[in-house]
Copies of this chain bind each other. A is one copy, B any other.
Amino acid sequence: MATDDVHAKTAQGRTHRLALRVYYEDTDFSGRVYHASYLRFLERGRTEWLRERGFEQKEMAKGASIVFVVHRLTIDFLGPATMDDMLTIETRLATLGAASFDFSQVILRGEAKLAAALVSVVALKGSRPARLPPDLRSRLSHEGAAKPSSSG
């Protein structure tokens, strides 16, 4: 049952890749990229993942009054990034819920994995969780990501 439920809402979307450059603003006096900067990079990846699917967050905030808020995040820092590095942010939908997404994200420099994260994002309307807009759900199911539970 439990595993069925998991399977029911498990979805493995296409991996989205965003290239970005490390600038002064991202570094700290240790000479490395400041650890919280990685979260900014991951958020850029999720925003572009969503844009690739046809959705802009400013529009969703205005239209459906929905904002996406991170509610849980786990990140492992595996190696340092430094000034001038070109990084790749890989973003993949891990799980799709009624009002939430779980993302699996990786930060790479070339082949080297610098960070790996699991990020749970919830859709909010005001201060309450809100079902994802139908057109977004539909869009995600079109790529095989949103499988409705068939078990019953």
Residues of A bordering B, CB below 8 Å: 21, 23-25, 27-32, 34-37, 39-40, 43-44, 47-48, 51, 56-59, 61, 67, 69-77, 80, 82-84, 127
Q: Copies per complex?
A: 4
Knowing A71-B76, A77-B71, A83-B58 are in contact, say whether A36-B30 is a contact too (CB < 8 A): no
> What is the CB-to-nearest-CB distance from A9 to chain B, in angstroms, rounded to a whole number?
20
In this complex, the member of A34, A47, A58, A75 whose beta carbon has the largest number of chain B beta carbons within 10 angstroms is: A34
For the complex, what is the distance from the CA of A67 to the CA of B82, rounded to whole Å? 15
- Give A82's nearest chain B residue, CB to CB: B58
Choice from B31, B35, B56 contacting A39 with Cβ under 8 Å = B35
